[in-house]
Amino acid sequence: MTQKQLKANKTIALVAHDHRKDDLIKWAIVNKEALSQHSLLATGTTGRLLEESLGLPVKKLLSGPLGGDQQIGALIAQSEIDVLIFFWDPMEAQPHDPDVKALLRVGIVWNIPMACDVATADFLISSPYMKGTYTAALTDYDAYKNRKV
Ligand SMILES: O=C(CO)COP(=O)(O)O
């Protein structure tokens, strides 16, 4: 268990494919108060829409198809992102599908909480983890991260 898991201010990465951007924006508006307690970053277009809708600062990376997913993946691997909210589109192939898969993969490798739908995002944003409270699921985080694969 590290200090990182216990801190109350998390860095949340938010990403949504075009047909899921409405869902993400609506979810973010409902959860604006909770989101305002944390540092937000996002892929380019998602970030711009979030900033316009929430009036909160959002660090914007490149657009997904231009490498934004890979930038977020790299930040996860550097332990600079605590949570990933990624509303990927289950109905449509993306030109950058390999990047999408890579981002989802690296999130699992680094054992960060990830939500890909509204129901899970609701659980996550209201969880003790977001408040910096210890959670059992993360007890062996360091051991997990350093495991032999
Ligand atoms: O394509 C994306 C994620 O795979 C999202 O990128 P944008 O936020 O720039 O639309």
Residue-wise pLDDT for 67-97, tens only, equals 999 999 999 999 999 999 999 999 999 999 9
Which residues on adjacent β-strands are paired with residue 15? 86
Whether 122 shows a pLDDT value over 60: the answer reads yes
Q: Is 64 in the pocket of ligand 1 (CB under 6 A)?
A: yes
Q: What is the pLDDT of residue 66?
A: 98
Whether 126 shows a pLDDT value over 70: the answer reads yes
What is the sign, positive or negative, of the torsion defined by CA atoms of 87, 10, 107, 121? Answer: negative
Q: What is the pLDDT of residue 137?
A: 54
Amino acid code (one letter) for 89: D
For ligand 1, atom 4, which residue shows the shortest CA distance? 64
The angle, 0 to 180 degrees and rounded to 10, between the axes of the packed helices 21-30 and 118-125 is 30
For a ligand 1 pocket test, name from 25, 43, 100 the mutation site with the most ligand atoms within 8 angstroms of its C-beta.
43
- CA-to-CA distance for 71 and 134, rounded, in angstroms? 28
Give the chain's mean pLDDT.
90
Mean pLDDT of 36-54: 98
- CA-to-CA distance for 131 and 48, rounded, in angstroms? 26
- CA-to-CA distance for 138 and 144, rounded, in angstroms? 9
- CA-to-CA distance for 119 and 125, rounded, in angstroms? 10
CA 22 vs. chain centroid, Å, equals: 17
- CA-to-CA distance for 125 and 145, rounded, in angstroms? 23
More confident residue, 9 or 147: 9
Q: CA nearest 47: which of 38, 59, 37?
A: 59
- 120 annotated ligand-binding residue: no
All domains of the chain, ordered by start, with CATH? 3-145 (3.40.50.1380)
- CA-to-CA distance for 39 and 23, rounded, in angstroms? 20
Question: What residues have CB less than 8 Å from 127, skipping those under 6 apart?
Answer: 113, 135
Picking from 51-60, 109-118, 135-144, which range would have the lowest pLDDT averaged per residue? 135-144
